[in-house]
Amino acid sequence: MTDLSRPVHKKTWHLAEVEALFALPLNDLLFQAQDVHRRHFDANTVQLSTLLSIKTGGCSEDCGYCSQSARHDTGVERERLMAVDEVLAAARAAKAAGATRFCMGAAWRGPKDQDLATVEGMVREVKALGMETCVTLGLLKPGQAERLKEAGLDYYNHNLDTASEFYAQVITTHTHDDRMNTLARVRQAGIHVCCGGIIGMGESRRVRAGLVMELANMDPQPESVPINMLVKVPGTPLCDSGQAGDLDPLEFVRTIAVARITMPASHVRLSAGRQTLGELGQALCFLAGANSIFYGDRLLTTGNPDADADTALFARLGLKTEPARGLDGTH
């Protein structure tokens, strides 16, 4: 099995190569992805992460998919940053339900130093429970990643969202390069990278291939790669403009498979949009190499299959969950 403390960077991928994977007959693509998956992971084990919105709404950015932007009328109310005790209670409940990683997300362009101090306290307390810790706080300034590392942070999530060529059609208040700069700070601080994207935003398959290529060519590759299907929230530009049509679920499965082949040692996570896939679609995603999910009935502001439904699906598929790690990183 792969040691995630030593990320793997296999090769430099070119766009034509990734596009060729997308174009394979589905059976051949799934066969190749499953073969790669079995060489790096237990094919019947899934890692469970729980995501909590620790500060909801009021974000200054204009991300076209996001219900939390202050620029979009989505009905999401601006809320204060949660207290450490509130977050710790949610983490205990997540651990009791089987989650091994606890992810905390805040709707900011980036954290202010005084807010970061509170988040550091959250990280320390959740880490003390024996859970892996992850935060997604937006763009980081110099020195902030080091503070999170000192607090015990395991993973920082900062998605590319989409390929660089399509980025300005989704977001204009910051750039693709801004995201890459934050990811570089996270790596330099010695924190694991959680980085993926969203598909179904009206992009072409070529753009989807470009997103996977950019992720796969990170050196080292992200340890965790969340793949989201767009959840169209009324009031967001991507929902109201009609730019984003309904994505074929099999195209989502193909994206999972291509991510697995190009990033063999990464956890590939089914994230937003699992409800749209249904049970058969999710089963195909696990066959394609997905081995992590967000677990619990809510993501940041959108719904998610409930824990009982996931447990029942795992039982029917013969999947088991990844055991919790000890504080030294061992199982």
Q: What is residue 290's three-state secondary structure?
A: coil
Name the DSSP letter for residue 244: S
Give one word for 130, left, alpha or beta, with left for phi > 0 and alpha for psi -120 to 50.
Answer: left
Q: Dihedral (C-alpha) 103, 209, 13, 7: value to the nearest 10 degrees?
A: 10
Please identify every residue annotated as catalytic: 59, 63, 66, 103, 134, 194, 269
Q: Based on the number of CB atoms within 10 Å of its own CB, is 8 exposed (0-12), middle (13-18) or buried (19 or more)?
A: middle
AA letter at 67: S
* DSSP state string for 36-95: HHHHHS-TTEEEEEEEEEEE-S-B----TT-TTBTTS-SSPPP-PPPPHHHHHHHHHHHH
According to DSSP, residue 5 is labeled T
Instruction: Give the Cα separation of 180 and 207 in Å (integer).
Output: 18
Q: What 3-state DSSP class applies to 18?
A: helix
Number of H helices, E strands in the chain: 11, 10
Strand partners, 133: 102
